[in-house]
Amino acid sequence: MLADPMVNCVVAEAGRRGGLAGGLRLSSIPAMEAPAVCLLPLLLLLWAWAPAPGRASPEALPLVNEDVKRTVDLSSHLAKVTAEVVLAHAGSSSSPRATSFLLALEPELEARLAHLGVQVKGEDEEENNLEVRETKIKGKSGRFFTVTLPVALDPGAKISVTVETVYTHVLQPYPTQITQSEKQFVVFEGNHYFYSPYPTKSQSMRVKLASRNVESYTKLGNPTRSEDLLDYGPFRDVPPYSQDTFKVHSENNSPFLTITSMTRVIEVSHWGNIAVEENVDLKHTGAVLKGPFSRYDYQRQPDSGISSIRSFKTILPAAAQDVYYRDEIGNVSTSHLLILDDSVEMEIRPRFPLFGGWKTHYIVGYNLPSYEYLYNLGDQYALKMRLVDHVFDEQVIDSLTVKIILPEGAKNIQVDSPYEISRAPDELHYTYLDTFGRPVIVAHKKNLVEQHIQDIVVHYTFNKVLMLQEPLLVVAAFYILFFTVIVYVRLDFSITKDPAAEARMKVACITEQVLTLVNKRIGLYRHFDETINRYKQSRDVSTLNSGKKSLELEHKALTSEVALLQSRLKTEGSDLCDKVSEMQKLDAQVKELVLKSAVEAERLVAGKLKKDTYIENEKLISGKRQELVTKIDHILDAL
């Protein structure tokens, strides 16, 4: 007989939940016991789901709220409710111990809950936060939470806990529109009683308002009023899930400033820097401004636009540097930065005051040293930073998007968040010198307040060899650039080759060299003339002989080079070869005249020639030299 697969699944599930996994096999049951097989899954499920001895669900335990003291703080645009609860186990000695209890939220406020925290009264702050998990109660609508106690509560025992809740957008402006000169009034609706699944023996409520100007409030139990405080109760023997509408209408000119959308980008670099940038959309969610706005009245009258927002302060980390603040137009110069010991305080002043319904957008960015937030052990890295930071006091963020850009090559990414966040699929971010992109963690969260300013830890692995990737890319890029330039300048990109043009270029190059050599020979002659003049003054024969020898050697070398170039011109078939040959002949004549001048000078110094005769001979020699040099110049010009 084949076993039913559904039966197998049920038995396996029952075994997993009841601790029987692996011990039961349907194949071991004989075929004749089929009816027992049909009943076995049902019995196992009932056994697995039944409460264990000494344990009961929180809603079934006989717990009682012996005393509840609630404080409802309405002094800002948030509703902060703090309840000090004395919880007692009212069961008999045979009742199971209570390891947890239930919290219920008022149906009118549950949708706007931003923060819920439970603490054990009297313990250290680092140890008194209790674990809170949302749960569902059969047959009951609304939101319920299970709170785990630090120690099990025995029958007859008591424990004091503090329940803190923060609600957003529950203070509604009334009237919804006001002029610039009017004050802002708001309405809050709640519950006179502590909404709980357990009976309450005694409870009281204190309401703290933003001002003493109260239009109206409910009068259940003859409350007492003192300045900006309302005291209700005590109310005794209140049944579970009791509700009675509490309503107060009072003046509240505190800043109703809300961040409708915020994108926080954290870019991590292993080269020592973490860049943070926040794109913020702000809106004044108080009573909408009715009528025109008068800048004159706003500046002249102190109480004009009393509920508007001129500026606010943002607290940045103490290590923040290179801070900037700008909007769509550009840099906003009205901001101020104050560096303190434990933080950097930035006063943000928008370009215009914010009235009800008005919006603005701005960007704040700064850099942080990575050694304060990034830790590593080998290839294991951990980034510990705040998911959201302080923007302004009593902040409300309707929608938050956090993008954490990790270094290129980061793998095995894990995120540890202090509260529930919504993770979107990871993205890739490309910037300078990136090849396959940097991983980007994208997280979303809605309805945040100051209590959400907590650290998030991102774990990932990174091979340190990849840190050499960007420097090597720079080196390779420059190498390719220089190599390309070298190859480019050596390539011939002409479509067709012109032999005649190439020949002309060669001839021009040779001619240029000839001109250089000829000019050097002419310079030799001038230098020798100076040597002759020094000889006539000093009558030192050695000076003249040395000059002759130097002239002969250098002239011979230059003439040989010109002759070599002349042969190259002849090889190229240029008609300039004949002109160079003619110039060589003329130069030989110039040399003879130069040497003749030296002979005449020797005769003059030796007294063999009169001075008048020497002067006449020198004039003749100079004239012939000038004619020859002029002819050489003409030939050079022709070249």
Nearest to 66 by CA among 212, 175, 199: 199
Q: Return the exposure string of 441-476: e unless at least 16 CB atoms fall within 10 Å of the residue's CB, then b.
A: bebebebbbbebbeebebebebeeeeeebeeeeeee
Q: What is the pLDDT of residues 291-309, one digit of tens each?
A: 888 888 888 888 888 899 9
Residue 52's pLDDT band, with cuts at 50, 70 and 90, is very low
Cβ within 8 Å of residue 408, ≥6 positions away: 434, 435, 436, 437, 438, 439, 466, 469
The tokens describing 297, both together, are 């009245």
Share of residues in the chain with pLDDT > 70 (%): 89
What is the DSSP code string of 484-548? HHHHHHT----SS--HHHHHHHHHHHHHHHHHHHHHHHHHHHHHHHHHHHHHHHH--HHHHHHHH
Of the two residues 505 and 85, the one the predictor is more confident about is: 85
Cβ within 8 Å of residue 192, ≥6 positions away: 205, 218, 220, 221, 232, 235, 244, 245, 246
* Residue 569 to residues 191, 508, 575, 633, 636, Cα–Cα distance (Å): 113, 10, 8, 19, 15
Cα separation, 421 vs 406, in Å, equals 19
Residue 82's pLDDT band, with cuts at 50, 70 and 90, is very high
Half-sphere exposure (Cβ direction) of 349: Cα atoms closer than 13 Å: 7
Q: What is the pLDDT of residues 167-214, one digit of tens each?
A: 999 999 999 999 998 999 999 999 999 999 999 999 999 999 999 999
Overall average pLDDT of the 224-237 stretch = 93
265 close to 368: Cβ distance less than 8 angstroms: no
Give me the pLDDT at residue 187, please: 97
Q: Helix, strand, or coil here: 451?
A: helix
Q: Helix, strand, or coil here: 587?
A: helix
Overall average pLDDT of the 61-78 stretch = 94
Secondary structure of 39-52 in HEC code, one letter for each residue: HHHHHHHHHHHCCC
Cα separation, 433 vs 468, in Å, equals 12
Overall average pLDDT of the 485-501 stretch = 78
Examine the pLDDT at 448 and tell me if it is beyond 50. yes
Examine the pLDDT at 351 and tell me if it is beyond 80. yes
Overall average pLDDT of the 128-135 stretch = 91
Nearest to 397 by CA among 78, 116, 83: 78
Residue 19's pLDDT band, with cuts at 50, 70 and 90, is very low
Give me the pLDDT at residue 621, please: 86
Task: Give the global pTM.
Answer: 0.68
Q: Helix, strand, or coil here: 54?
A: coil
Residue 57's pLDDT band, with cuts at 50, 70 and 90, is low
Of the two residues 200 and 585, the one the predictor is more confident about is: 200
Q: What is the pLDDT of residues 595-631, one digit of tens each?
A: 888 888 888 888 888 888 888 888 888 888 888 888 8
The single-letter code of the amino acid at 265 is V
Nearest to 256 by CA among 315, 184, 363: 184
Least confident of 124-133, 509-518, 535-544: 124-133
Q: What mean pLDDT value characterizes the chain?
A: 85
Give me the pLDDT at residue 3, please: 38
Nearest to 263 by CA among 283, 273, 277: 277
Examine the pLDDT at 133 and tell me if it is beyond 90. yes
Cβ within 8 Å of residue 182, ≥6 positions away: none
Q: Helix, strand, or coil here: 617?
A: helix
Give me the pLDDT at residue 58, please: 61
Give me the pLDDT at residue 316, please: 96
Q: What is the pLDDT of residues 263-292, one digit of tens each?
A: 999 999 999 999 999 999 999 999 999 988
Examine the pLDDT at 402 and tell me if it is beyond 90. yes
Residue 36's pLDDT band, with cuts at 50, 70 and 90, is very low
Measured from the Cβ of residue 344, the count of other Cβ atoms closer than 10 Å reads 18
Overall average pLDDT of the 436-442 stretch = 93
User: Backbone phi, then psi, for 155, in 5-degree steps?
Assistant: -55, 130
The tokens describing 350, both together, are 């928008």
Residue 122's pLDDT band, with cuts at 50, 70 and 90, is low
Of the two residues 163 and 548, the one the predictor is more confident about is: 163
Measured from the Cβ of residue 55, the count of other Cβ atoms closer than 10 Å reads 12
Residue 85's pLDDT band, with cuts at 50, 70 and 90, is very high
Report the DSSP beta bridge partners of residue 133.
146
With tokens 């009334």, the residue in question is 174
Least confident of 59-68, 123-132, 381-390, 578-587: 123-132
Cα separation, 298 vs 307, in Å, equals 12
Examine the pLDDT at 498 and tell me if it is beyond 90. no
